[in-house]
Amino acid sequence: MPEPGLEKPVSMETATPEQHVTMDEITALAKRRGFIFQSSEIYGGINGFYDYGPLGAVLKRNVKNAWWHDTVELRDDVVAFDSSIIMHPLTWKASGHIDAFHDRMVDCKTCKHRFRYDHLTDTSQCPDCGTKDSLTEPRNFNLMMRTSIGPAEDTASVAYLRPETAQGIFVNFKNVYQSARKRPPFGIAQIGKSFRNEITPGNFTFRIREFEQAELEYFVPDDGRDMDAFAEWVDRRKDWYASYGVRPERLRFYELTAQERPHYAKAGIDVEYYFPWGWGELESIAHRGTYDLDAHMRLSGKDLRFFDEASKAHYTPLLIESSAGMDRTTLTFLIDAYEREKSVDPNGKETERTVLRFHPAIAPVQVAVFSLARNKPDLVEKARGIEAALRVRHRTQYDEGNIGQLYRRQDEIGTPYCVTVDYESLDDNTVTVRERDSMRQERISADALARMFGERL
């Protein structure tokens, strides 16, 4: 778990990368095109909760798949896991969450607004209404969400929604290494929902109360090579962000100082992105030593150590953790892909376009197929046929009508390729393929599409 209260405030760096997009533009696009909606909007919304629309759900799934592919599927030393959201309450006693997972909060006695104490730069006056000496003394506020199990709502039935997925892995460490026949170094990975009763949710889906984490817990022997394993995972995560095209100048790997790290951690890196409001954390990578397994062994009385057949000795492996927020990463891909630029429409007129330059593996739609006219059955049938054939291998969409509007819509949702079926297509079986970023168009045979997209996507 993170050291409570030690989360760094979102910092405003002096060396600022370029960031033109505003959060208003992102939230408006997200709503207009069906990426992200405020949860329960018809009832006025609920603070800190969001829903993913038809495109957003696919976008987020692609982000998770990209993480899963690199962290689990491409490794022979990482196994998959999926633990329950509600665990035995003693889990959270051992992990320290019950006693220490708080943020400090203060209230303004004048305007009644609530703030996280560590987010305030000046505590002498309220940052919202400006009243001097109006803030209460800071109080601890536990961030875990409580629920109750069974028909009686008494203290015996109290349970918690997990604030991180990692503990499900730690308590199962022995089950996993024995059943999967793994020996350190090896990792256990899972993606799942976590819940935190954040005092001040905000910045769209950056700080929310229900979110998804992708966590890798990598266990290594204490043989002097643990820092190499740490460095290898940091490099791998750097490569991951780079391979999906996140702009390098908006990404930084901040090395935590000994004062910023929990006392038991030997090393820590925060992966940060430059959001429209400044730097914000996407992921934390930490060397946590034996802290987590030790804590569960102490409270449960169960031996979770690894038995090394070669030396016939038990030992507690060291832990390297990489913990990434999937909602924050999805938001990052959305912001990073966003551009407004001048362009020329098919009639030669200068216009402005909004384009999301998603990596093809991340784009919710990869190929859009259009019929130039709505009411021409031959065209519609041909275009639908092409779309249906491409759908087997790619994420596709069929549409029809005004070509300028169709391109504009697909640019806004980040579709890398559009294919247009027109009257000529009926004669010679050729179609126009238009590429999103360059807006270059080429005329090719419809029979060549499968192969072309197979290579390019």
Residue nearest to ligand GAP (CB): 325
In the complex, the smallest distance separating the C-beta of residue 47 from ligand GAP, rounded to whole angstroms, is 12
Estimate the crossing angle of helix 54-68 against helix 326-337, to 10 degrees: 110
Regarding 336 and contact with ligand GAP (CB under 6 A), the answer is no
Distance (Å, rounded) from C-alpha 174 to C-alpha 178?
6
Regarding 164 and contact with ligand GAP (CB under 6 A), the answer is yes
93: how many CB neighbours lie within 10 A of its CB?
A: 13
* Residue closer to ligand GAP (CB basis): 207 or 436: 207
Those residues whose C-beta lies under 8 Å from the C-beta of residue 98, and which sit 6 or more positions away, are 89, 92, 142, 144
Regarding 196 and contact with ligand GAP (CB under 6 A), the answer is yes
Question: From residue 48 to residue 87, what is the string marking binding to ligand GAP with x (rule CB under 6 A)?
Answer: ----------------------------------------
Give the residues across from 338 on adjacent strands: 356
DSSP alpha helix (H) spans, 72-217 = 90-95, 97-100, 166-171, 173-179
Q: Is 46 helix (H, G, I), strand (E, B) or coil?
A: coil
Q: Which of residues 199-238 bind ligand GAP (CB under 6 A)?
A: 207-208, 211, 213, 215
Regarding 30 and contact with ligand GAP (CB under 6 A), the answer is no
In the complex, the smallest distance separating the C-beta of residue 441 from ligand GAP, rounded to whole angstroms, is 40
Contact 105, 116 (CB under 8 A): yes
What residue type is 255 in one-letter code?
A: E
Residue from the set 103, 226, 272, 283 that interacts with ligand GAP by CB under 6 A: 283
* Residue closer to ligand GAP (CB basis): 226 or 281: 281
Regarding 292 and contact with ligand GAP (CB under 6 A), the answer is no
Regarding 284 and contact with ligand GAP (CB under 6 A), the answer is yes
Selected range binding ligand GAP among 168-176, 249-257, 275-283, 300-308, rule: CB under 6 A: 275-283
Selected range binding ligand GAP among 63-71, 177-185, 240-248, 320-328, rule: CB under 6 A: 320-328
Q: Looking up tokens 């966003």, which residue turns up?
A: 338
Question: From start to end of 256-389, where are the E strands?
Answer: 267-275, 278-289, 306-308, 313-315, 318-325, 338-344, 350-356, 367-371
Binding site for ligand GAP (CB under 6 A): 2, 164, 166, 196, 198, 207-208, 211, 213, 215, 281-284, 323-325, 327-328
